[in-house]
Amino acid sequence: MSVVLAAAVGGLFALGTFLLLRRDLVRVVWGVAVVSQAANVYLIAMGGVSEGGNSVVPVLSGHGESVPETADPLVQALVLTAIVISFGTTAFALALTYRAYQENETMDVQEWQ
């Protein structure tokens, strides 16, 4: 497996974790966003990444009989769902951040208890 891809996934997970551990709530939300990006890239890596080109895009050329081998469509369907849902959760987390700041008058998650 490609070291480059593995390093990218590992690096993104590490950076996301680091952000999750910050005291600033906005940075925690960034952490969630980065970790979900990392998870998506990870899923794509699990499906296998090959040299780009029209031949492996999972769109068939016509309604003919022959079905060529394509990039894994199932993984892509999963990631598509994940992108949309992570958008929903990020928006919700931001609204929650806004509201939490109004209620607690601080952005520091350590002071909430």
Site for another protein in 5-34 (CB under 8 A): 5-21, 23-24, 26-28, 30, 33-34
Does residue 87 belong to the site contacting another protein (CB under 8 A)? yes
Does residue 101 belong to the site contacting another protein (CB under 8 A)? yes
- Rounded to whole angstroms, the Cα distance separating 88 from 108 reads 23
Does residue 50 belong to the site contacting another protein (CB under 8 A)? yes
Query: Closest separation between CB of residue 78 and another protein, Å?
Result: 9
Query: Closest separation between CB of residue 43 and another protein, Å?
Result: 10
Does residue 80 belong to the site contacting another protein (CB under 8 A)? yes
* CA pseudo-torsion sign 61, 63, 66, 71: positive
Grouping H, G, I as helix, E, B as strand and the rest as coil, residue 32 is helix
Amino acid (1-letter code) at residue 86: S
How many residues are there in the chain? Answer: 113
